[in-house]
Structure 1
Amino acid sequence: MFLHNRLGPSELKARLSAEKFQRCTVSFYRYVKIENPQELRDELYLYWDHMQCYGRVYIAHEGINAQMSVPEHFADDFITHLETVPGMKNMPMKWAVEDDGLSFLKLVVKVRPKIVADGLKDEVFDVTNVGTRLSPMEFHDMAQQDDVIVVDMRNSYESEVGHFQKAICPDVSTFREEVEIVVDQLQNQKDKKILLYCTGGVRCEKASAWMRHHGFSDVNQLHGGVIAYSHEIKKAGLPSQFIGKNFVFDDRLGERITEDIISHCHQCGNPCDHHTNCTYDPCHKLVIQCDVCAEKYEGCCSDDCYHKFAQEKDSTAEGKVEVKVETEI
């Protein structure tokens, strides 16, 4: 039996569109010692593949980090099984805020050196010395106080479409850049109350430990991240301090938390918060693009990519015509 996907993109899309059931998207993580990541990887792949689960899962000696699409009728079985896996009992599950069932096309389970590519050397600091975990309601109340510093621990392409109203949002593209800039920027405010947040909470585990290692005395983190916060705030009927969209790392590329559109199309500058990947494959750059520009540039991020994409299309079309003519002759 093959323990990996063997279908192409078109087959995967056809398989998903043919389904007669609903799916739900869930994410979870845990830092826990895993003796044999490869063995666990194979066991989980077999079980989840049998249940027609899709998603992206990273397993390392330090733990597990997963974002998954689970058939709705298997959701209870999925959780029940996870409870039997050593180290996974009582796993906090973050269910999607907005879910169209199209978050993933296939199941990918990989063994990695780390469950988050943070670029940090774990041996130089105590990764277990994390900040105080705040419930969504605790974070909501504290974030509105004047004497706290709220820090977005995500990349700039995430924070540009949505963030907490008073948050510091560093202009970075990697987690390693983020933690270094935050420590440097707040060097003279080490006694202040620091509130960290990210998508689901996993990046804040390492970020808070890194900050404590550098002498910050009052580091706190949003437990469960923006996903958990949104659920709890809606349940309580309170106005969200997080505005806009929460960027997610699956095919949806975002969940709307509030109706605020705080970003702009990268091409025309009109209000927009829809992320897309450039249609021209050699580029595939992640950009914010409005419907008008998407039609005008056929999903390409720039004039240069659009012209190259058009040339490739014309070349492909010409090739098909030639083959057809030769066949008829």
Structure 2
Amino acid sequence: MTASPPNDLSANLPDRRGPFKVMALYKFVAFPDADAIQPQLAKFCCGHGIKGTLILAPEGINGTVAGTEAAIDALAALLLHSELFGDRLAGAEIKYSSAAEMPFLRMKVRLKSEIVTLRAPEANPVEQVGTYVAPQDWNALIERNDVVLVDTRNDYEVGLGSFQRALDPHTQNFTEFKQFVEQNLDPQRDKKVAMFCTGGIRCEKASSYLLSRGFEEVYHLKGGILAYLETVPETDSRWHGECFVFDERVSVGHGLVEGEASLCRACRHPLSAEDRAHPDYHEGESCPYCAGSGLAERAAERQRQMQLAEQTGRAHLGDEARQHAETIKAEKRARREADRQRARSAQS
């Protein structure tokens, strides 16, 4: 276990099982010029056919994107070796995986006040952060009786999988983590706290928050669950279930292969095989978590529209759908203009 900053993991590529290369990255670093960088980064990604979401904030960068191998490699070069970013992203936490199909519908580069929202100014990973624990050292740490293990993710993520004996904070969003700490952790009692999250960013900020609250020894899994699932053999793993990811793959398992979970199109809740066997599950319309709600009713109508779109051969989601909608609008405008021209000709 060391307190060194995370390394660039761009060279540690898994055995790829799909034509699309997926990049997940983050780094806490000063970005006072985020608003100037945003349009240039968006133009580059769109020009290379990259899709996904990147978040820029004064405290750093965070996001996941996908594209062809050449496109993602070009983006990595831009982030790590260009005048636009300088050397600010050296040592960024970068993870690569693959997808059989494009896991995102469009490209978004967003400006926000935080790259992971906690609303706690005292939590500043640039100034102080807990001890990074390498994936190969994680098992030994979490098996100690004097260590409190905390899953910093939200309840719908924890529901798909977690480490054995980890505390579930039962949060709906990360800002609620502060209340969990206030009600369940005590710096006088809990001398050693270990935390983990999907890719490392959330628990890195959480570790900074705990240190600001007087906790003495705070540890977090370097590279998050994704690094653990890639690095630690399944036979030695203390992980149970699948890891939720924020794209159309829904989840990944050991080796970062795509998991079996799916996503409810009504409430966006991840669904296990058991959830899909529930009587309240109707593909594209509802699941056990939202059946009978207004969300389910709207999803049923959306599903009907998607089926109609498929029958007529037109797109319904993503950039193609937007382009199709623009084409339809242009055709309508052209028809209206033609009608007006004919009317004027008839009057003359």
TM-score range (shorter-chain normalised) is 0.7 to 0.9
Look up the SS of the partner of 1:187 in the other structure: coil
Contact 1:152 1:170 in 2 (8 A): yes
Q: Tell me how far 1:100 sits from its aligned partner.
A: 2.6
- Structure 1 residues 168-183: aligned runs within 5 Å: 168-183=167-182
Shift of 1:34: 1.1
Matches within 5 A, 1:125-164: 126-127=124-125, 128-164=127-163
**Residues 315, 254 of structure 1: alpha-carbon distance in 2 compared, 3 angstrom cutoff:** closer
Say which one has the larger Rg. 2
* TM value normalised by structure 1: 0.74
1:277 aligns with 264
Tell me the secondary structure at the aligned position of residue 199 of structure 1.
coil
2:101 is aligned with what amino acid?
Answer: G
Distance change in 2, residues 1:79/1:304 (3 Å) = closer
The number of residue pairs the alignment matches comes to: 277
Q: Does 1:41 align with 2:28?
A: no
Report the identity percentage.
Answer: 26
Pair 225,303 (structure 1): closer, same or farther in 2 beyond 3 Å:
same
Q: CA deviation at 1:166?
A: 1.6
Structure 1 residue 125: deviation in Å? 5.2
Distance in 2, matches of 1:310 and 1:61, equals 37
- Structure 1 residue 40: deviation in Å? 0.8
Q: Distance in 1 between matches of 2:296 and 2:111?
A: 39
- Of 60, 69, 72, the match for 1:72: 69
CA RMSD of aligned residues (A): 3.2
Q: Which residue number in structure 1 is paired with residue 222 of structure 2?
A: 223
* 1:95 alignment partner AA: Y
Match of 2:164 in 1: 165
Letter in 1 for 2:148: I
Given the alignment, which residue of 47, 55, 78 partners 1:81?
A: 78
**Deviation per CA, 1:19-42, whole angstroms, max 9, x where unpaired?**
xx9211111001111121121111
CA–CA distance in 2 between the matches of 1:33 and 1:146? 38
Whole-angstrom distance in 2 between the partners of 1:158 and 1:243: 13
- TM-score scaled by structure 2? 0.71
Do residues 104 (structure 1) and 109 (structure 2) align? Answer: no
**Matching residue of 1:94:** 95
Decide whether the 8 Å contact of 1:104 with 1:251 is kept in 2.
Answer: yes
Question: 1:113, 1:148 → 2: CA distance?
Answer: 33
Which stretch of structure 1 is more off in the superposition, 286-295 or 79-88?
286-295
1:193-208 matches, cutoff 5 A:
193-208=192-207
- Aligned-pair distance for 1:239? 2.0
In 2, Cα distance between equivalents of 1:171 and 1:252: 24
Partner of 2:21: 24
